[in-house]
Homo-oligomer: A and B are copies of this chain.
Amino acid sequence: MGQARTIGALDTGPAIGVDIGGTKVLAVRLSPAGEVEAWAKLRTPVRAGDVIETVLVGVAQVTEGASERSSTLPLGVGFPGMLDRNGTAHFCPHLHSVDGMDLRQLLAEHRDPGASTVVLNDATAACWAEHSVGAAQGFDDVLMVTLGTGIGGGMVVDGRLLEGAHGFAGEIGHMVIDPHGPPCPCGKRGCWERFASGDGLGRLAREVALAGRLDCAVKAAGGDAEAVRGEHVTEAALDGRPEALAVMKEFAWWLALGLANLSNVLDPSIIVLGGGLIEAEQAVMEPLRDAFADLVEAPEARRIRVVPAQLGEKAGAVGAALLAAQRAG
């Protein structure tokens, strides 16, 4: 359990948020003012039957010693996949075991009648957090893009969360941007996340490494070009190695292409980039902004800020908690 940290000043009442990731689970307790009063990290269970139990353990850890009973507090849970508006999981590529489960109902059975229980997509939850208390505070039209193994998305339109008719909005990583591109586990070819995610950067870096033009990263990967991953190239780029910077520039172009597509559709005022990759901010943001201005329609007539996320790994849990609190009333 970690230290309290102030992340903003709301007045939504106390709430609990849990974010289920592919490998770890993060739980937070928010104060009535929207501050993270306590947090805990657990390992994501492999078996579907253990997911609900893990959420409850996280909830118990962050409410230990709190004055309110945890089963009455608003609870929001973010999952990595497609959840419908009733809270049933439909397609969770990194947690397939929960597909088909009515997660909201399964959680509600452990809670007081009438307690607010919200489940939703993790990137959608993270977007709500960045909009409410993070990098997009004060902006009503927000696009959040999380770059991890794949790409997650969340959107705020006119100050309201865009969830979609079925709850599936924000599957931006599966926007096809090159039908002749590499195959995607989803069954299509050339999905954006094949190019612009952490996996995409690794693929791009290996192509360049195999062509003999990325020796610094090959060295970092133990001399094997096939073992080059995204981290190796971002580290080399942060060291200022020109061949790594060239790879980052190409990566940034693919990232910008998808951001421009989404901006042409949605016209946001701010784009928030989250996920581990953005920690290599210096190497990504500058070429990204240049390419984005080239690719979006009418850049001279509008201002779209492109900024890194502020809430880090807690964004999903915080956003889920905030939504549960706001929907409790």
Contacts and interface: CB of A to CB of B under 8 A. Distances in A.
Contact of A297 (B91, B140, B261, B267): B91
A176 interface: yes
Contacts of A179: 177-178, 257
Interface residues of A, number: 48
B298 A91 contact: yes
A165 B302 contact: yes
Contacts of A268: 164-165
Interface string A149-177: 00001010110101111111111101111
A117 B302 CA distance: 23
Interface SS majority for chain A: loop
Given A160-B158, A175-B264, A82 B168 contact: no
A162 B264 CA distance: 12
A47 interface: no
Chain multiplicity (copies)? 2
B90 A168 contact: no
B267 A175 contact: no
Nearest to A175: B261
Given A141-B164, A176-B260, A153 B297 contact: no
Nearest to A82: B298
A164 B267 contact: yes
Interface string A76-120: 000000101000001100000000000000000000000000000
Contacts of A267: 163-171
A212 to B, nearest CB: 24
Contact of A301 (B90, B169, B257): B90
Interface in A139-153: 139-141, 153
A123 B212 CA distance: 49
A266 interface: yes
Contacts of A164: 141, 266-268
A186 interface: yes
Interface string A184-200: 00101000000000000
Contacts of A91: 297-298, 301
A91 B288 CA distance: 24
Contacts of A171: 264-265, 267, 297
Interface of A: 82, 84, 90-91, 139-141, 153, 155, 157-158, 160, 162-172, 174-180, 186, 188, 257, 260-262, 264-269, 295, 297-298, 301-302, 304
17 contacts: A82-B298, A90-B298, A91-B297, A158-B160, A165-B269, A166-B301, A168-B267, A169-B265, A170-B265, A171-B267, A172-B264, A176-B260, A176-B261, A177-B177, A177-B178, A179-B257, A180-B180
The list of the 10 closest CB pairs from A to B, nearest first, reads A164-B267, A165-B269, A141-B165, A171-B264, A166-B302, A169-B267, A90-B301, A168-B267, A175-B261, A91-B298
